Structure 1
Amino acid sequence: MVNELMPETPENDDYANRWLKATLELTQALQKQTSVRGGLRLVTQRLRVVSGADYVAIGLTDPHLPVGTAFIEVVDGMGFEDVSGNFPHASERSELWTNVIQSNKAVISSDIPLHPGFQPPAELAEALSTLGPGMYLPLAVSGNAFGVLVAGWRRGSSFETISTIVPLMQMFTDVVALALQQVRTHSMVLEDRERIAGELRDTILVRLFDIGTRMHVISGMVGQTEMRRRLQDTINELDGTIRQISATVFALSDARTPSRLPLSAQVLEEVEAVSNTFNQTPRLVVHGPLNGLPEWLEQELVLAVRESLADAATHQAVSNIEVFVQVTADKLALTVSDDGQAGKRLASGSVPVRLRKRARQLGGTCTVRADGPTGNILSWQVPLHGMSD
């Protein structure tokens, strides 16, 4: 059956204007796209409507594959609307695709399945055998083809009618190629930014936290006041560097979705927020892969750190305070210890009510115990398989 959308022969400027309007609307839509696959889908859908084609597909090259090789990324029409590539055209080495990409020249045929080199992927072969007229148009920018746009009409469609829209198809393809190349470039930039942010977050920040932790330990071992002051100044500079890198990671994060600071940076912010309260910055020690936890668990830990430090601030004569966070294969644990005097509240064995209640809801525990004649240790832990409700 011939596609009912098959256009009539263009006899006036109205038909050409419809193509121009469709091309303009599509390029404007592509400017808002950050996903290559989403942009390709827009192209195939719009082209089918304006051209009346039964089948439209787009294949893109891959710089890591042999020259001329293309993967079919998006297919639309003939029952393939919900199909999402990649069809393994690379393994079949379609001669027709290769020739179009390497020569940067279009192929127009009255019976595309009979054209030399027509080798569709096995998944599409049976359906595409019913095509008649077809076009293979290179997607190129500055003479360099990076893909192929394919349009086909079922056998029985008028090739004479279709051949009259070839100039319009080529105009459409040239404009769309430039817009698609911009989408691809933007997508690559975002991927690079994500990669750099990931390296900073997963490697550099972890190492800096480790160095800072060791310096905190050394600071507690140094007896000379002047040496301790200089060491503390260095620790403060290191903390500042960590904050700057955290901000850089935040800025590099993908702009398409709301971004949050990594958990390590959030915990550091909570620790530094109480520095005026204790007249010092609590020592932070982290063991295990802190970043990468589920978002709901990140929120629970940040809240636990905040509540624990608020509880420690009620103690008298605190001169040393440490925040210890540990992630193991099966649990997330927080220990906040100080050398202050908790008074009657500790003697009664109570703990911050909110922390204890929430820990139990998550299948964990929260306890407070004395550490010698003076001193307090608050321990909070939840299983990693806990529920967020």
Structure 2
Amino acid sequence: MATARRLTARPHCAAYHRSVVGNGSPPHERLRSLVSSLLTLGTDLEGEQAAERILRSASELVRGRYAVVRQANPPDETVELFLHGLSRAEYAERADRPDFARLVEQLTLSGRPVRTRALLGVPMRPRDHHSGQLLVGDPEGGEFTRDDEDLLAAYGAAAAMVMHRADLHERERRQQRWLHAVTELTELLLGQVDREKALGTLTARLREVSGADYSALLLLDPADPDSGTLHAVTGLSLEHLAGRRVPLRGLTAHVVRSRRGVVSPDLDQVYGYGPPPEWRTALADLGLGMLLPLRTDGEVLGVLFAGWRKESPVAHLAAQEVDLVEMFAHQAALALRQARTQTSRTELSVLADRERIAQDLDTVVARRLNRVAADLGAAVEGSRRPVVRERLAVAEREVAETITLIREVSGDLRTPAQAAQRAASACWLRLQAEVVKASDRFGFVPGLEVHGALDAVCDAVQCELAAQVRRALDRAAEYESPSRVDLVIDLEESRFRLIVAGARNAPSPGEQVTEWAVRLG
């Protein structure tokens, strides 16, 4: 895989080259000036800036119209291209020519300069390591000479050192950015953690320091291990997918079940890679991709996605930083665990408060009211006036009713009253939420019917209902432009039906309604 960048001239660079190269200087004097200027470049020079100077100087040194640096990047030896005087399309057209391909192959195999009439190539070997090639083509004089070959070979050795030094400096800068980002995230986790804010900060910092073009987190649903929800989606104009529930399939399912990450320079070529249809266009340009599990305490909480475009200038560096991206995945897992711990503490605190209030109602309020009721009863017995006796009796009954209400409230605080109805209501709201979420896919809200009492269904089946609704909606989304999607849940017969109507790709030309049914429980 090759990535290409066309380097354009800068005003200050033109002046620089006129002063250094000198149109009237002898060739060897020009070479000496160029090499001297290259080797004294500041260490803050970035790789692309270094390539720009190298290519412009090389083309002027041997009077070529264009110049190319082909740099191999370990560990997969992908080739990164730096272009001067050629567009990417023009380079691709020339690279397909037999003479060009033959020269590159010969240069790669021999590691020695190769010259033809219209093309000259020399190796770039920093510290005796063959890492790239410098090519110059279309000479002004009609053909390259032996002197041109010697000049470019000597220049190529110095250029290789500059590129190597710029690459090392870029790696050092990236390492510092990684460490700073990890430190920032660690400090974030030391305090109270807002889960969404922490995850958003994490993916934003990951893209910033790694140069990734896309990043997202898929968090698993403990109630439905076959699906998850996307969070902190950034890049490639896919931010609208945040909050979308997706089924666990292909590579994602493999990462979760194996608890091992998947890293590939060509993600779309990996077996099992298959993003949903509505994402494929946006993700089609990705080259390097990483899917890493969010692991903590032996449990996988989700998957971290990171992707780089095929023409990304930093993908070759990111490919060697998998351990640093894994560090971010670990930080995400810690953020999730911290947020879950805080939620558990809050819930325990609420339960403790409820128990304390219930205890106070039982031991203090209800007992005092019992004594009041007893006193009122005694007063009724001792009173001789009918009006007073009647009023005291009414007060006694009201106190007794109040005590009964207090007992009910106390019981609700300990074990909430009407738990089945509340659970049924929560289950219905969950089912409705799934249906509303799916409206973005279809352009309308699918129908939902429930026959039978939700409060008569056990917790396990209620969880299964939500999972079946998600699976059914995923299944309906596989049909093209349906006009109607209905979900029918029959609790009395323990059956679940999905009805999809008006789909363009119906199983047969005459079939307009497709039904799918499963048995619950």
TM-score, normalised with respect to structure 1: 0.48
Of Structure 1 and Structure 2, the greater helix share is in 2
Q: Which has the higher contact order (CA 8 A, sep 6+)?
A: 1
Q: Which structure has the larger Rg over C-alpha atoms?
A: 2
